[in-house]
Amino acid sequence: MLSLLIPRPQSPRNDIDVYLQPLIEELKELWEFGVETYDASNDQTFQLWTSLLWTISDYPGYAMLSGWSTKGKLACVCCNYNTNSTYLRHNHKMCYMDHRVFLPASHAWRESKRLFKGKKEHRSAPPMLKGKTKDHVNARYDLQDMGIRKELHPIEIGGGQTKFAKASFSMNSQEKSTFCSVLKTANVPDGSASNISKCVHVGDKKIFAYKSHDAHFMLHYLLQVAIKSTMPNLVAGPLIRLGSFFRSLCQKVIQVQDLYYLNGEIAEILCQLEMVFPPSFFDVMVHLSIHLVYEVRLGGPVQFRWMYPTERNLCRLKTYVRNRAHPEGSTAGGYLAEEALTLWSRYLHKSVNTRLNRMSRNYDNNDSCEVDSNDYFSSIGRHLGGKQNDKLFSIDSTSKAQAHRYILFNCDDIQTYIREYDECVSSHTKGGRWIKAKRQGQDFSEWFKIRALENDVSIHLKALSRGPNVVAKRFSDTTQNSGVTLVSLTESFASSKDENPKTDHVTYYGAINDIIELDYYSQLKFVLFKCDWFEAKEDKYGLTCVHFNKKYYQNDPFVLVSQVHQCFYVQDPFDENKHYVMKIVPRDLFNMGDQSNATAQEEYLDDPFYDIGNINASNNENDLNWVREDIPATIVEKLVDVIKEFEEEDDYDLDDE
């Protein structure tokens, strides 16, 4: 069946219904009437019905299944007969622009002529149905035919030569190397993408042999830093917004109200792209992004609908093929053998390592941990490797005091004693709130050690009050030691005399430099990260950056492993100490809505959209510069021959060097 659906010269195309007719007849019967089926577990029969969950196809295959052509003048299946398309005479292809129709009726860009196709736009958006580089020679002549962006029109300079100015999105050799170096040096977390650095060749200034999932990852995280470091604001702004749009749209958790904002955002982004890129850039795949938000509203988050899990499964099925002369039978035989082995492995003892009980790559040991009556003291997580990776060492007194103090102030059961200590300090200490808060952090552990001697303190808290053993355990192996982020409710003092500090959630960014396990004399154990914390700022694009040479909170470096979330840093190509923060959700982390920390998970899974709508959203036509004056123009000889030579291909790049 798959071979019938793969587009090729001999594919069935519109006659696909003839091939599918036997299957459709059976599906109709299951859909309307159902069939009586025997249930062996209950020893009875029931009526079996069928339902349509989803269909999977690429865009050309979509045309075969839907009956609507995805090529030519009306290539958009969503816009239907209202598709805005223009034929590029010199480029011999269709382009799909006029995205101003999706903007609000009062938007200023609707009245602009020079920025777009030389006319105002008062049409409304098409109603929804019920139920390589593009800057080449022919693209410039298409601009001339459309009468837009005169600065980019070809200029005849005599002698059979034509001059083409470099567009604003062109790169010189140094900028291409900088762009590639950002992708080359990025260290991404385990399981998020393949080794992208192997696909980047800085010397040749080329990126190739990467998978579609890697392209998504680069668009979501890496492209933003690479673009802002090499492109002018006119080009960088909309591309960063585009990457942020897809990053927000592909979240595992997405709010319905955010979709309405994203729907307006993508309309503005496409209009900004129309101001920068030539018409040949806007093929139907670029246009289809205007309808992605609507599809999310209908079908749910993209994470649960895209093709990557299915493609991984198909890749696994291909490994079953041993006889290439009969791939279908070989695949069926391999699948049957795997099912039989899976069934038999269910009857083996739990001590036997099988595919069913084998630990996953990032297994946290949540099921086997011994949960105490107080969940705070339960040990969740596991280290990598065997016992040889656990090294005992003597922790110094300063680190021991810092770690013990942090554990005390982050234990829910001790909050009652902290309030009791605050009342004691307030009545016996002179000075403002800043002095009292400072003394609380210094003296509480000694006060609690004495307070825990009384009978009303539980056994666990008594053990906690005595402090940890001087012998601790260190873990050295990590899958990705790139960065962590912590959101904490913090009091902020304007000065030491401030009596009304502001309390708010503050986000901290750091990098792990040590992982230790404190032992409270075999009664309690805590695993902590010792981190370097950095100063964080936001640039004009809304990207968060930290400076590795500006460290903060060196007297409070420890955090509990259960409190932090994962992030990674992308180095700025012009400042080795400046890194951009990229929050990322592990592939196997999902918010199921029933965990005790569901709120914290939802905040972590809900990655905020970078609101940079004011960047480059200028209505002044004189502020835009479509030409790179600092890059020499391209001179093309024998223009007629060049057009004939590239008449059948559309990738003649004016930016090649």
- The pLDDT tens digits for 163-200 are 888 888 888 899 999 999 999 988 888 778 888 888 99
**Ramachandran angles phi, psi of 48, nearest 5°:** -95, 125
Model pLDDT, residue 600? 44
CB 237 within 8 A of CB 616: yes
Query: Does the pLDDT value for residue 367 go beyond 90?
Result: no
195 and 270 in a common domain: yes
Residue 609 lies in a domain: no
Mean pLDDT of all residues in 40-60: 80
CB 403 within 8 A of CB 468: yes
Model pLDDT, residue 240? 92
> Which of 147-161, 477-491, 519-533, 542-556 has the least mean pLDDT?
477-491
User: Distance between CA 292 and CA 295 in Å, rounded?
Assistant: 5
User: Distance between CA 331 and CA 311 in Å, rounded?
Assistant: 15
Residue 79, amino acid: C
136 and 14 in a common domain: no
98 and 41 in a common domain: no
User: Distance between CA 154 and CA 45 in Å, rounded?
Assistant: 76
560 and 439 in a common domain: yes
Residue 373 lies in a domain: no
Most confident segment among 346-355, 418-427, 506-515: 506-515
638 and 539 in a common domain: no
Model pLDDT, residue 180? 92
Model pLDDT, residue 10? 62
558 and 410 in a common domain: yes
Model pLDDT, residue 646? 40
Residue 596 lies in a domain: no
User: Distance between CA 115 and CA 271 in Å, rounded?
Assistant: 10
Model pLDDT, residue 613? 46
Alpha helices, H only, 363-458: 397-409, 415-428, 433-451
Mean pLDDT of all residues in 539-555: 88
CB 113 within 8 A of CB 590: no
565 and 634 in a common domain: no
Cα–Cα distance list, 532 to 483, 511, 568 (Å): 9, 5, 14
Half-sphere exposure of 432 (CA within 13 A, CB side): 10
Tell me which of 434 and 416 has the higher pLDDT: 416
- Condensed to tens digits (0 to 9), the pLDDT of residues 95-138 reads 998 999 999 988 999 989 888 888 899 888 887 766 566 777 88
582 strand-pairing partners: 568
**Ramachandran angles phi, psi of 625, nearest 5°:** -130, 110
For helices 415-428 and 433-451, angle between their N-to-C axes, nearest 10 degrees: 120
DSSP annotation of 528 reads E
Residue 350 lies in a domain: no
Tokens read off for 394: 């003597």
Query: Does the pLDDT value for residue 218 go beyond 60?
Result: yes
CB 235 within 8 A of CB 206: no
SS (H, E, C) 57-107: CCHHHHHHHHCCCCCCCCCCCCCHHHCCCEEECCCCEEECCCHHHHCCCCC
User: Distance between CA 609 and CA 242 in Å, rounded?
Assistant: 11
Residue 317 lies in a domain: no
The CA dihedral of 491, 494, 500, 502, to the nearest 10 degrees, is: -40
> Which of 46-55, 246-255, 262-271, 557-566 has the least mean pLDDT?
46-55
* Strands, E assignment, 135-199: 155-158, 161-164
| Other Cβ atoms closer than 10 A to 145 | 16
Most confident segment among 315-319, 390-394, 418-422: 315-319
300 phi-psi bin (left φ>0, alpha ψ -120 to 50, beta other)? left
Residue 186's nearest CA partner among 212, 213, 217 is 217
119 and 244 in a common domain: yes
Mean pLDDT of all residues in 593-617: 49
Range of the domain at 564: 390-589
Query: Does the pLDDT value for residue 620 go beyond 50?
Result: yes
pTM of the model: 0.74
285 and 191 in a common domain: yes
Model pLDDT, residue 150? 87
Q: What percent of the chain has pLDDT over 90?
A: 16
Residue 535 lies in a domain: yes
Tell me which of 2 and 42 has the higher pLDDT: 42
Q: How confident is the model at residue 379 (pLDDT cuts 50, 70, 90)?
A: low
Q: What percent of the chain has pLDDT over 70?
A: 77
580 and 438 in a common domain: yes
Count structural domains, the chain: 3
Determine the 3-state secondary structure of 238 from DSSP: helix
> Which of 226-235, 488-497, 608-617 has the least mean pLDDT?
608-617
User: Distance between CA 269 and CA 615 in Å, rounded?
Assistant: 11
184 and 136 in a common domain: yes
Query: Does the pLDDT value for residue 617 go beyond 60?
Result: no
- Condensed to tens digits (0 to 9), the pLDDT of residues 265-284 reads 999 999 999 988 988 889 88
Cα–Cα distance list, 250 to 584, 585, 600 (Å): 12, 11, 19
Model pLDDT, residue 178? 92
Residue 141, amino acid: Y
* Residue count of the chain: 657
Residue 505, amino acid: H
- Condensed to tens digits (0 to 9), the pLDDT of residues 290-304 reads 999 999 998 888 888
Residue 527 lies in a domain: yes
List b or e across 287-311, with b for residues whose CB sees 16 or more CB atoms inside 10 angstroms: bbbbbbbeebeeeeebbeeeeeeee
Residue with tokens 């909309």: 238
Query: Does the pLDDT value for residue 371 go beyond 70?
Result: no
| Other Cβ atoms closer than 10 A to 450 | 9
259 and 163 in a common domain: yes
Residue 181's nearest CA partner among 192, 191, 196 is 196
Tokens read off for 220: 């979501």
Query: Does the pLDDT value for residue 9 go beyond 80?
Result: no
Helix (H) or strand (E) holding 181: helix 173-185
Query: Does the pLDDT value for residue 429 go beyond 90?
Result: no
CB 29 within 8 A of CB 20: no
- Enumerate residues 6+ apart whose C-beta is below 8 A from 85: 72, 73, 74, 75, 94, 95, 96
Residue with tokens 């099925």: 317
Residue 413 lies in a domain: yes
Query: Does the pLDDT value for residue 645 go beyond 90?
Result: no
Question: C-alpha angle 178/198/226, rounded to 5°?
Answer: 25
